[in-house]
Structure 1
Amino acid sequence: MVYDTAHRLGAYLELEPEYVCLHAGVRVGATAISFKPSTKWIEPTSLPKPFQKLFAGEVGDCLCICKDALHAMANK
């Protein structure tokens, strides 16, 4: 709830997040690309190059939406 509230308030104020907050599904996707499950947030510069082209909010969405596909690719 805290993340969702902060995200919506930031959108209202036209502020883009600087870091990718790892919560629920985002954390699952992040572990597929080698981040530790205990990680709380990620700096965009520490991500693989294709992700660095995205805004932090977009990275979070991508990691969450694609978590199953990322894990499948990581397990090959």
Structure 2
Amino acid sequence: MNRCLERFGKVWVVQPHNEQEKCAPACWDAEREECQCSCMGVNHGSRGPAGRWKIISDSFATRWLGARMAARLIQRRSEG
């Protein structure tokens, strides 16, 4: 990658990425509108979203969304 940066000034890096989603049974079972969960209300009051969740506690559950591809542009830092 460093040689590509030296030659072209920027390079796209494409690599596998396994995104982690976080939520909680307390959110799924909520009766009121207020949600302070990392799902930002997507699963709020759903009584349990679809998918295979690993429940750690009443306030934390997680699942991995599976392999996807992620891309980012890296540019050579300007000197000066």
Return the structure number with greater strand share.
2
TM-score range, shorter chain: under 0.3
TM-score by length of 2: 0.24
TM-score by length of 1: 0.25
Greater Cα radius of gyration, structure 1 or 2: 2
